[in-house]
């Protein structure tokens, strides 16, 4: 019933969404060139790597960079009618299909229970071993203000792992999945115009879950308004910082709020406006709190 209702009002919603989001994301930023030769991405679930940074990963592949994706959970908790064992199998098959389309060279699986990811000593050591092996110049992880606990715990795992490293020097880039960054927090924009088609194809392989992905794809086009270059048609956006700043900002707000009480997933294009602007003032205050020791005024 809900899906039918959304479908019936889509012809009205989409033109309004176009007008509002093209204005909201209007900016004067410049795109960031990918200069790293070694990149590591932490994905809480299969498909998060494509949703959040698939176009960027494809650009790395086109440039011959060494890219590794770590899938942290086994996918058993995905929204699906499949039996758990079959679902886990299908999710792993989809990971390899995405790898083929996106082009990242190496895939690792930590196989934590879906929905129960924690930053344990064992996972931290596994991540340290991979960092020692791969020597990434940049590590990608989800934003830590997000309405899915596994996404937050992925950032938590990175935070705890970095704290154990001696003088880590790589760049940290946080990507969006369920919950978007306030536009003021976006300080890295990657032009994926040339790789957007591969991202769309990769998204299409994720058939084991009964969810929509069109909202994620639409955002790539709306957010192209953030940059001044006229030929940029699709982008992926990130918060970028040093390990020290990332850890400081993460610590300031970790565990203080249950974000699923405040925010809605941005997976549907028909509900993008609601998802982006629901409790937007609170989200802005949370990010401000990451710079003020966790205090919200």
Task: Give pLDDT tens digits along the chain (297 positions).
Answer: 555 655 556 677 889 999 999 999 999 999 999 999 999 999 999 999 999 999 999 999 999 999 999 999 987 766 666 677 788 889 999 999 999 999 999 999 999 998 999 999 999 999 999 999 999 999 999 999 999 999 999 999 999 999 999 999 999 999 999 999 999 999 999 999 999 999 999 999 998 876 789 999 999 999 999 998 889 999 999 999 999 999 999 999 999 999 999 999 999 999 999 999 999 999 999 999 999 877 776
Q: How many separate domains does the chain show?
A: 1
Task: Give the tokens for residue 132.
Answer: 């020692």
Can you give the pTM of this predicted structure? 0.94
| Cα 264 → chain centroid | 15
Q: Is residue 141 part of a domain?
A: yes
SS3 107: strand
Q: Assess if residue 297 is contained within a domain.
A: no
Q: 3-class SS at 224?
A: helix
84 domain residue, yes or no = yes
CATH number at residue 211: 3.40.50.10320
Residue 294 domain-assigned? no
Select from 142, 56, 175 the least CA-distant residue to 104.
56
> Cα 128 from chain centroid?
21
Task: State which residues form the domain around 250.
Answer: 2-289
* Residue keyed to tokens 């790293």: 36
Tokens of 104: 């990242």
Packed helices 84-102 and 48-62: angle between N→C axes, nearest 10 degrees: 30
Report whether 73 contacts 117 (CB < 8 A).
Answer: yes
Q: What's the N-to-C CA distance of the chain in angstroms? A: 41
């Amino acid at each position: 019933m809900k899906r039918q209702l959304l479908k019936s009002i889509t012809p009205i919603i989409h033109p309004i969404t176009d007008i509002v989001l093209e204005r909201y994301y209007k900016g004067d930023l410049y795109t960031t060139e990918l200069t790293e030769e070694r990149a590591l991405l932490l994905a809480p679930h299969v498909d998060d790597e494509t949703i959040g940074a698939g176009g960027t990963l494809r650009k790395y592949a086109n440039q011959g960079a060494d890219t590794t994706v770590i899938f942290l959970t086994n996918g058993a908790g995905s929204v699906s009618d499949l039996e758990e064992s079959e679902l886990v199998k299908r999710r792993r098959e989809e990971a390899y299909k995405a790898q083929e389309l996106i082009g990242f060279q190496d895939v690792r699986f930590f196989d934590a229970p879906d929905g129960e990811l924690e930053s344990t000593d064992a996972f931290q050591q596994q991540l340290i071993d991979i960092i020692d092996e791969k020597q990434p110049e940049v590590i990608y992880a989800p934003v830590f203000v997000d309405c899915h606990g596994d996404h937050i715990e992925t950032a938590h795992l990175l935070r705890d792992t970095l704290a154990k490293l001696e003088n880590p020097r790589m760049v940290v880039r946080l990507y969006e999945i369920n919950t978007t960054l306030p536009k003021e927090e976006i300080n890295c924009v990657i032009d994926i115009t040339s790789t957007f088609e591969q991202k769309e194809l990769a998204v299409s392989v994720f058939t084991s879950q009964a969810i929509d992905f069109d909202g994620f794809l639409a955002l790539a086009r709306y957010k192209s308004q953030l940059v001044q270059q006229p030929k940029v048609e699709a982008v992926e956006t990130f918060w970028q910082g040093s390990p020290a700043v990332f850890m400081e900002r993460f610590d300031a707000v970790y565990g203080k709020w249950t974000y699923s009480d405040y925010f809605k997933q941005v997976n549907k294009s028909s509900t993008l406006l609601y998802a982006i602007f629901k409790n937007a003032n609170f989200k802005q205050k949370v990010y401000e709190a990451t710079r003020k020791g966790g205090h919200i005024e």
